[in-house]
C-alpha cells in the first residue's frame, strides 16, 4: 500500500504534462511493429500465456499505431486477446513518453538499434515514475548510456534491465547457477568459467534489425569504439598482478598517469581465434556475441560482489566461444571476418536477405535450436557443467525478455533498484520460469547429442 501511495504521488507530479487515461497494464511492449514484435507476440501466444501461473495484462505500443495494430491483428485475430490495447509513443513528444510509462508496471522496449534512438528518455521517465524497464539490446554503447542512470535507479528503487535477451542472458545465468551450486557444495567460489555456444536445425539468417544494429555499431566514432574494445567496459575490472601479488601498471604517455594493466587471460584476443580446449576435448572459435557476453558476466560478478558480497569469484575469469565440429576446423581456419555489407550481399545472393523489421518466420525454424554449454572450475579445482537448450536464438530472446518481466512483476527478488543484468535482477527465478516454458536445462553435465534439439511447444 505504501509503495502504491508513493507511485501515485509521483504520477500526480507529472499531471501537468499528461493525458493518461488511467489504465495501467502489467507489461507494455514498445516498438512491436516489426520482426521482434512478431516474436514477442508469438512467445506470448505459444508459451507465456500458457505457462505463466499468474494472470497478467498487457498492451502494445509504438511510434505508428497503425503498424502495431496490423501486427496485433495478424497475430491475435480470433483469439481472446484480439482487442489488446495499442498505445502511441514518440521520443519527440515528451507527453507521450509520460503517458506510456504511466500506463505500465513493466516496459519491454524492443525498438532498436538502441544507440540510434533517444531511448534514455524512456528509461529516465521509468525511473522517475517507479516503473521497471527491460530491453533486448546487445549494444555496448547503449549499455554505457543506460549505466549513467544507475545511481538514480538505485536511489528510486527502480530496476532497469538492459540486454534481457539470449545474448546477455543465457551465458550469465549458466555461470550464476554453476557458482551457486559450487558454493553450496564446496563453499568455494569460481576461478574460471567458459561458455560454449552451439546450435542446429535450420540456421536462422540475420534479421534486418540485426544487420542494422551491427552496421550502427560498426560506424561508431573512435571514442565509442575504444570503450567497446575494453574487456571491462561494463565494470568488474580485475588487474594483472605480479608473483608477489602487487598490481601491475603501465604509464599512459599522453597523460603521464599510471594505468592498471588488464590480465592477459581476460583479453579479447583469447576469444578471437580457433583453438582446442584439450581439457574438454573440443574445438572452439569466435562467437558473434562473445565480446558482449563476456562484459555482461563481468558486470554481474561486480554487482554480486557489491550488492551481496557473493561474487562468482574475486579473481574470476570468463570466456565464451562457438563450439566447433572437429571435421570443420581446417576449413574454418581460412575463413576471414566479413563486414556487414559483405554479409548483406551474401544473404541477397542466397535469397535469404531480410529488410529492416523483417526476419525468418517461425515455420522455417521449426527444427532450429541453440545451446549454451557451461564448464566452470572453483579455486580448489572442483569442476561443474551445465547446459541449456532452447529454440532458435530469436525466439529465445523473446523468452528471456518476457520471463524477466514476469520475475519483476511477481517474484521476490534479491535486489531492488539499479541498472542490473537479467541474472542479478532475477536470480534463480528466471531459470525456473524459463524451464516451466519448456527450456531444456541440465545441471552436472552437458546434454548428449541426441537431446540437442528444440524443446516442444507447451501443450
Q: What is the pLDDT of residues 71-109, one digit of tens each?
A: 999 999 999 999 999 999 999 999 999 999 999 999 999
Which has the minimum average pLDDT: 30-34, 76-80, 167-171, 337-341? 337-341
Residue 242: what pLDDT?
74
**pLDDT > 70: percent of the chain:** 84
Sheet holding 369-378, edge to edge: 275-277, 282-285, 317-324, 190-200, 369-378, 383-390, 440-443
How many Å apart are CA 303 and CA 147, to the nearest integer? 13
Q: Is it the case that residue 203 has pLDDT exceeding 50?
A: yes
Which has the minimum average pLDDT: 22-36, 221-235, 344-358, 363-377? 344-358
Query: What is the pLDDT confidence band of residue 246, given thresholds at 50, 70 and 90?
Result: confident
Q: Is it the case that residue 351 has pLDDT exceeding 70?
A: no
Q: Is it the case that residue 299 has pLDDT exceeding 70?
A: yes
Residue 49: what pLDDT?
97
How many Å apart are CA 160 and CA 9, to the nearest integer? 21
Residue 283 in contact with residue 329, Cβ under 8 Å? Answer: yes
Residue 4: what pLDDT?
44
Q: Is it the case that residue 5 has pLDDT exceeding 50?
A: no
Q: Is it the case that residue 334 has pLDDT exceeding 70?
A: no
Q: Is it the case that residue 318 has pLDDT exceeding 50?
A: yes
Tell the residue number behind the cell numbers 568455494, with chain if given. Answer: 188
Mean residue pLDDT of the chain comes to 88
Residues 177-202, mean pLDDT to the nearest whole number: 96
Query: What is the pLDDT confidence band of residue 249, given thresholds at 50, 70 and 90?
Result: confident
How many Å apart are CA 295 and CA 269, to the nearest integer? 14
Residue 160: what pLDDT?
98
Residues 279-299, mean pLDDT to the nearest whole number: 96
Sequence-ordered list of residues with C-beta below 8 angstroms from that of 146, at least 6 positions apart, any chain: 120, 123, 160, 162, 419
Residue 347: what pLDDT?
47
pTM score = 0.89
Residue 62 in contact with residue 89, Cβ under 8 Å? Answer: yes
Residue 362: what pLDDT?
87
Residue 41: what pLDDT?
97
Query: What is the pLDDT confidence band of residue 202, given thresholds at 50, 70 and 90?
Result: confident
Alpha helices in 130-245 (DSSP H): 140-147, 150-156, 166-186, 208-218, 222-228
Q: Is it the case that residue 451 has pLDDT exceeding 90?
A: yes
Higher pLDDT, 218 or 28: 28
Q: Is it the case that residue 141 has pLDDT exceeding 80?
A: yes
The grid cell for 187 is 563453499
Amino acid at each position: 500500500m505504501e509503495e502504491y501511495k508513493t507511485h501515485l504521488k509521483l504520477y500526480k507530479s507529472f499531471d501537468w504534462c499528461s493525458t493518461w487515461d488511467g489504465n495501467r497494464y502489467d507489461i507494455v511492449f514498445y516498438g512491436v511493429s516489426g520482426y521482434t514484435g512478431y516474436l514477442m507476440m508469438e512467445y506470448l501466444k505459444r508459451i507465456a500465456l500458457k505457462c505463466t501461473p499468474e494472470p497478467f495484462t498487457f498492451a502494445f505500443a509504438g511510434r505508428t499505431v497503425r503498424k502495431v495494430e496490423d501486427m496485433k491483428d495478424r497475430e491475435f485475430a480470433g483469439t481472446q486477446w484480439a482487442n489488446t490495447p495499442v498505445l502511441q509513443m514518440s521520443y519527440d513528444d515528451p507527453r507521450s513518453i509520460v503517458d506510456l510509462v504511466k500506463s505500465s508496471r513493466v516496459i519491454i522496449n524492443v525498438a532498436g538499434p538502441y544507440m540510434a534512438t533517444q531511448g534514455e528518455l524512456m528509461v529516465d521517465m521509468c525511473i522517475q515514475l517507479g516503473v521497471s524497464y527491460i530491453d533486448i539490446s546487445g549494444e555496448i554503447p547503449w549499455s554505457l548510456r543506460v549505466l549513467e542512470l544507475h545511481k538514480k535507479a538505485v536511489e528510486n528503487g527502480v530496476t532497469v534491465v538492459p540486454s534481457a535477451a539470449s545474448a546477455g542472458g543465457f551465458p550469465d545465468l549458466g555461470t550464476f547457477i554453476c557458482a551457486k551450486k559450487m558454493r553450496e557444495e564446496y563453499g568455494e567460489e569460481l576461478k574460471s568459467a567458459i561458455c560454449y555456444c552451439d546450435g542446429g536445425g535450420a540456421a536462422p539468417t540475420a534479421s534486418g534489425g540485426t544487420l542494422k544494429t551491427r552496421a550502427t555499431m560498426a560506424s561508431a566514432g573512435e571514442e565509442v569504439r575504444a570503450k567497446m574494445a575494453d574487456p571491462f567496459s561494463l565494470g568488474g575490472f580485475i588487474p594483472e598482478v605480479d608473483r608477489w601479488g602487487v598490481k601491475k601498471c603501465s604509464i599512459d604517455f599522453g597523460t603521464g598517469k599510471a594505468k592498471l594493466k588488464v590480465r592477459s587471460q581476460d583479453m579479447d584476443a583469447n576469444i578471437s581465434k580457433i583453438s582446442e580446449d584439450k581439457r574438454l576435448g573440443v574445438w572452439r572459435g569466435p562467437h558473434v556475441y562473445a565480446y558482449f557476453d563476456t562484459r555482461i558476466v563481468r558486470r554481474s560478478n561486480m554487482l554480486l560482489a557489491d550488492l551481496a558480497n557473493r561474487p562468482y569469484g574475486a579473481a574470476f575469469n570468463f570466456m565464451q566461444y562457438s563450439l566447433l565440429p572437429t571435421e570443420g576446423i581446417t576449413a574454418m581456419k581460412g575463413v576471414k571476418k566479413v563486414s556487414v555489407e559483405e554479409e548483406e550481399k551474401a544473404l541477397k545472393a542466397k535469397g535469404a536477405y531480410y529488410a529492416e523489421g523483417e526476419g525468418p518466420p517461425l515455420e522455417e525454424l521449426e527444427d532450429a535450436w541453440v545451446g549454451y554449454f557451461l564448464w566452470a572450475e572453483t579455486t580448489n579445482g572442483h569442476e561443474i557443467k551445465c547446459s541449456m537448450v532452447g529454440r532458435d536464438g530469436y525466439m529465445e530472446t523473446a523468452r528471456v525478455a518476457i520471463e524477466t518481466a514476469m520475475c519483476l512483476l511477481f517474484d521476490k527478488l534479491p535486489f531492488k533498484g539499479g541498472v542490473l543484468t537479467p541474472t542479478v535482477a532475477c536470480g534463480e527465478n528466471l531459470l525456473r520460469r524459463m524451464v516451466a516454458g519448456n527450456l531444456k536445462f541440465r545441471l552436472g553435465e552437458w546434454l548428449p547429442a541426441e537431446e540437442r534439439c528444440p524443446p516442444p511447444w507447451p501443450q
